[in-house]
Amino acid sequence: MVDKSGAKVQQMFREIAPKYDRMNHLLSLNTDRYWRWRTIRLVPPRGEAPILDICTGTGDLALAYARRTGGRVPVVATDFCPEMLEIGEQKRVAAQLPETSLTFREADAQALPFEDGRFQIVSVAFGLRNVADTDQGLREMTRVCQSGGRVAVLEFSQPRWQPFKWMYGWYFRNVLPRIGQWLARNDSNAYQYLPDSVGEFPAYEALAERMRQAGLTDVRFYPLTLGVATLYVGAKP
């Protein structure tokens, strides 16, 4: 059983924060950029209501939404690791985006500090599996989403097509953790946590059903890159 206690996850991401972006791009062969691009294409902004990205890390998906809207729609990015948020803020400044278009805020995904029905899109990219209580995280995302809005979950998944499933599974379990640990040395064994947490996390119809139980309707999922990642989208009634 993977330890997803708040203190454990915070410490792990605190240690790898300085190398987080570089490692993501390297280990995914830059495919993570494509996955975020597809997310925005499949879940585009509509109107002027704000957008929320939780477990934002260094803010790549939030930045992508802010660029897509040209600053016309406020984007709020939350995470409970201040070191990650600091890097996200540096990236916002480098991108010359005003703070009114993208705001970084420390918050727990299980108790979001926002009123009901505030956001047109509530997204999370590769962060929901790190939340100790997945169902509570989904309920909070649904709560702060406005009626008619959408909840989007982009997450790693395990491919189902053979022989790619076997080959990728072997790489993911045996090669990726060693490369990650070697390049981003840390005391928390973060890159062993990655395959372990993905292996335990519900995927495909299992996660779609959890989203329905959280109050979402018309839940669909879109496998990306042969199922290495999957985008789940649900609507708030």
Structure confidence by residue, pLDDT tens digits, 34-80 = 999 999 999 999 999 999 999 999 999 999 999 999 989 999 999 99
Cβ proximity of 209 and 134 under 8 Å: no
- Show the domain range for 218: 6-235
Task: Provide the pLDDT for residue 188.
Answer: 45
CATH of the domain at 29: 3.40.50.150
Rounded-to-10 torsion of CA 203, 67, 83, 144: -60
Cβ proximity of 122 and 149 under 8 Å: yes
Cβ proximity of 112 and 140 under 8 Å: yes
Domain count along the chain:
1
Does the bond joining 163 to the residue before it have cis omega, within 30 degrees of 0?
yes
Q: Is residue 1 part of a domain?
A: no
Nearest of 60, 93, 98, 94 to residue 77 by alpha carbon: 60
Q: Is residue 56 part of a domain?
A: yes
Dump pLDDT digits (tens) for 109-130.
999 999 999 999 999 999 999 9
Q: Is residue 16 part of a domain?
A: yes
